[in-house]
Chains A and B, each alone.
Chain A
Amino acid sequence: MTWDWDYAREVLPKLLEGLLVTFEATVVGSLIAYVLGLVFAFIRRSRIPVLSQVVWLFVEFVRSTPLLVQVFFLYYVLQPELGLLWTSFLTGSIALGVHYACYTAEVYRAGIDAIPVGQWEAATALSLPRSRVWLGVILPQAVPRVLPALGNYTISMFKETPLLIAIGVVDLVGEARGVGAQSYRYVEPFTIAGLLFLLLSYPASILVRRLERRVNRQH
C-alpha cells in the first residue's frame, strides 16, 4: 500500500479542525493546572492540619494512577453523581488540568523552597503583611524560575490530550480515527497526525529549553 497524496490533502482540513480541539483542551487544562497547582502548593505549605494531609494524599494518588482511568471516573461516576451536565470536552479538560495540577504543585513547591531564607527574614523584619510577603516578595521571584517546568508540562499535556477520545472528544486523533474508519485508509491520517504533533511539540520544547537557559543565567 502506497502513500496517497490526494487522500492526504483531502483529510488534512479535517485533521486541522481536530488539532484546534486538541489546542483548546491543552489551553483549558494548562490554565487549571497552573492555578490549582499553586493552590495545592499553598495548602501543603501552610500546614493546615487534615487539609494539608488530604491534599498530599490526593496528589500522590493522582500521580500514581493512570490519567485515562481518572478521566473515566470523572466522566462516568463523579460528574453524574454531582448532577453536572459537563460535555465530554469540558470533563476531559478538567481531568487533564487536575491531573497536571498534581505535578505543577511539586514544581511550585520546589520554586518556593528555592527562595533564600533571607528573603523571608527581610520580609518579616519589615513586618510586611502576609499577602504582601507572598505577592510582593516570594511569588515574583519563584514564578519565573518555574516557568520552564510549567512549559514542559503543557507540552506533555498536549501530547496526552488524545486519550480524551475515550470519552468521545473528537480531537486530532479522533478525527484521524474517524476519517480512517470511513475509508479504511489509516496510513495517511495517523501519519499526518503524528507529524503534526512532532511539528508543534519539537519547536515548543526547544523554546522551553532556551527559556530554561535564560532563567538559569539570571539566578
Chain B
Amino acid sequence: MFDNFGFFFPRILEGLPQTVYATLGGIALTIVLALVAGLAMLSRLRVVRFVARVYVEAFRGTSEVVQLFWIYLVVPILVGFQVVPLAAGIAVLGLNHGAYGAEIVRGAVQSVPKAQVEGAVALNFTPAQRLRRVVLPQAFVEMLPPFNNLFIQLLKSTALLFFINVPEMTRQVEVLRPNFGESLATMYGIILVLYLLLAIVITGVMRWLERAAARRLGRRPPSRTSALAKVSAGGVG
C-alpha cells in the first residue's frame, strides 16, 4: 500500500500551494465583498440596498458548482476571452462566500447598541468617523466567530475547483487515480488530513484575532475552547 508513497506524496503536495492560493485569494475577496455589500444593505439609499440584496440573494440562492461553471464556461463567451482557471475559481469563491459574509457584516453592525451611535453623534463625529471609530471596532468582534466558520467553508469549497481543472490537491489525486488505484485510500487520507490541518490553522488565526480584538475594546478575551473548527448552524447557509 505504501510502495509508491515516495512517488505520489510529492505529487499531491504540489497541489497544496494551489489550494492555499485559492483559499487566501478567496478569503481576501470575501472580506472586501462582505464589507461592501454588508454596509450597502444598511445604506439609506434604496437603490444601494436593492443592488446589494440582489447580489446576496443571487449568490446564496444558487449552487456554487453552477456559479463555477458559469464563470468558467459562460463568462468567457460573453466577454470574449478565456479566464485562468485559478482566477475564475478565486472569483467564484469570493463572490459566493462574500454574499454569506455580507449577512454576517450586516447582522454584526446592527447588533452594536444604538446608544453607541447616538453617543458618537452627540460628540459631533462625522458619519465616516462614527463608522470607523465606534461601530466597526465593536461589530468586528461579533463578526470574527461566524467568519471563522465561513472561511472554513471556503477552504472546503476549494476542492470544487477540481471541476475547472485547477491543479489543487483534489485534482492532483484525480490525476494519479488511474495508475495508483491500490493506494487510493492513502492518497485520499493524505489530502483529508491536509485539509483538516489547514482548517485548524484558520481557526487558530481567527481565535488569535478574536482575543486581540476583544482586548482592544477592553473586553475579556473569549475562552479557549476546542482547537477544531466549530462550524455552527447556517454555516453553509
Q: B-contacting residues of A (Cβ < 8 Å)? A: 1, 60-61, 63-70, 72-73, 76-77, 81, 103, 106-107, 110, 149, 152-153, 155-156, 159-163, 165-166, 173, 176-177, 180, 186-187, 190-191, 193-194, 197-198, 201-202, 205
Contacts and interface: CB of A to CB of B under 8 A. Distances in A.
B77 A67 contact: no
A66 B193 CA distance: 11
A100 B121 CA distance: 46
B170 A68 contact: yes
Interface residues of B, number: 49
A1 B76 CA distance: 11
A68 B159 contact: yes
B160 A149 contact: no
14 contacts: A65-B156, A68-B170, A69-B192, A69-B195, A76-B184, A76-B188, A152-B237, A160-B64, A166-B163, A191-B70, A191-B74, A194-B62, A197-B61, A197-B63
Nearest to A146: B233
Contacts of B138: none
Interface in B91-110: none
B199 A77 contact: no
Contact of A66 (B61, B63, B157): B157
Interface of B: 57-58, 60-67, 69-70, 73-74, 77-78, 152, 155-160, 162-163, 170, 173-174, 177, 181, 184-185, 188, 191-192, 195-196, 199-200, 226, 228-229, 231-237
Contact of A61 (B152, B196, B234): B196
Nearest to A201: B61
